[in-house]
Copies of this chain bind each other. A is one copy, B any other.
């Protein structure tokens, strides 16, 4: 019966193909299907309700908004998740765009395509194909607004790094050390005025998007996708200061912008929505406004990409809001002191990302002058607490035209970026971590399956006597006789050294487990050392 059914289904497939005029279009899961629809009309506009399409796969039906791409062309984009035949049908007030029907076959994702990133096990992430995703991002706010060669250099830098996420803004940035005028803008210019000082000020037509601006952004997001990097896209930011005014558009324009942006970009599988950077510095918007804008993004996005918002130092948005999938915190405090990161994780039942804890660099401002060691240390302090820390770099060797990676991208000049791959490697080997004995032991994390990670930070030790918490988070506690092997990880010198000793757990004594023979190991008397302690029995 099973064999017969299979053959029957196959022949249906063949039947459909035979009846198609063109060869069946094949789209990988989580890749982008794109339908281009020309429409010669003087009524073409960027209004958000002119075109939609419903995609159907067996019992699943997803409706997406199309968008006007200029030049008398509308586009509908769709990201299929399930393999098999997807059929679509369009709706539009324009007859040539209405009731367009078609189908494509969604095929299994290829090896490097793991799909959209989702929350997993409350505090962590995985790709749609169940591959674990451990975010280790960096930041280059305005990299897509720099000169082309700088953008290409940024991509090369990222390719050579271990980063798998980047924080980047849609709008250009006007800040003390970032003054570059973009060559392309998101809106058409309605009028050019002169301000009191005689400078030209562009007055935008918020009803007229500039498709070329978004096409460029899309190209860069696809470039990142090819490198396996998630684009944590910052929808609004305060770094404008009257220069372009994108931080103080009317609320209606904000909402139209969101609808247009999401219609264009939701089908990019590596998109995350970050509603704002330093939202509390955007003077024109209240917390209530941000809630409205967050809800607008989530409502417009049929795939529910990850979504968060980022504040200034120690400014915590109400991350309990159900539409927010994870935190995106600016605060060094939780990773500068023991136990801090885990406190934040105890509070929010969501993945904790500290997206700004400081930058390795040489700036005058204290946020931009951490050593590479300190930057890397903060990454590990977060990791130990079962949380994730974003890297950042802000070296400037010449003047403000220098490409400070933090905003402009370009070349990495520091040292901590080279350590990202090791942190990700360790995480991919241990799996998601959490504190083993939260509130009591601030240096020991566990994967709940027999592996512990101890991180000593700046403490320099010449030996470690086997000593684990008996508590193993919410997992079963180790039994006497459990055997362990140990690796010494030098998080700064990037070495993993196997120790040739097998340890054996004794009976728990007053909340701790010692080795039966009080075995100990030599440590290199250096800072930034971690131990990975792995259960070896039962095999």
Contact = CB atoms under 8 A, between A and B. Distances in A.
A339 B337 CA distance: 7
A338 B333 CA distance: 9
Nearest to A336: B339
B347 A316 contact: yes
A264 B349 CA distance: 37
A332 interface: yes
6 contacts: A333-B442, A334-B343, A337-B338, A344-B347, A347-B347, A366-B511
Interface in A394-449: 438-440, 442
Interface of A: 313-316, 318, 320, 331-334, 336-340, 342-344, 346-347, 366, 438-440, 442, 510-511
A346 B438 contact: no
A333 B366 contact: no
Given A320-B320, A333-B339, 18 more contacts: A313-B438, A314-B346, A314-B438, A314-B439, A315-B346, A318-B320, A332-B439, A333-B342, A333-B346, A333-B442, A337-B337, A337-B339, A337-B340, A337-B442, A339-B340, A340-B340, A343-B343, A347-B347
A439 B313 CA distance: 8
A471 to B, nearest CB: 10
A339 B344 CA distance: 12
Nearest to A366: B511
Nearest to A438: B314
B339 A438 contact: no
Query: Which residue of A340, A342, A510 has the most chain B CB atoms within 10 A of its CB atom?
Result: A340
A442 B340 CA distance: 12
Contacts of A340: 337, 339-340, 343
Indicate how many identical chains form the complex.
2
A136 to B, nearest CB: 22
B439 A346 contact: no
Contacts of A346: 314-316, 331, 333
Nearest to A349: B318
A331 B313 CA distance: 24
Given A320-B320, A346-B316, A439 B339 contact: no
Contacts of A336: 339, 439, 442
Nearest to A347: B316
Given A316-B346, A511-B366, A439 B333 contact: yes
Nearest to A321: B320
B366 A332 contact: no
A223 to B, nearest CB: 34
Given A331-B439, A333-B438, A439-B331, A343 B342 contact: no
A314 B344 CA distance: 10
Contact of A343 (B315, B333, B366, B442): B333
Contact of A440 (B320, B366, B440): B366
A310 to B, nearest CB: 14
A494 B339 CA distance: 29
A316 B510 CA distance: 26
Contacts of A440: 332, 366
Contacts of A337: 337-340, 442
Contacts of A442: 333, 336-337
Nearest to A511: B366
The 8 A-B pairs at the shortest CB distance, nearest first, are namely A337-B339, A314-B346, A333-B439, A333-B339, A320-B320, A316-B347, A337-B338, A314-B438
A340 B334 CA distance: 7
A316 B333 CA distance: 19
Contacts of A315: 346
A132 to B, nearest CB: 25
A440 B313 CA distance: 10
Query: Which residue of A313, A331, A333, A438 has the most chain B CB atoms within 10 A of its CB atom?
Result: A333
A387 to B, nearest CB: 12
A513 to B, nearest CB: 15
A438 B312 CA distance: 12
A84 to B, nearest CB: 38
A312 to B, nearest CB: 10
Nearest to A287: B349
Contacts of A343: 314, 331, 333-334, 340, 343-344
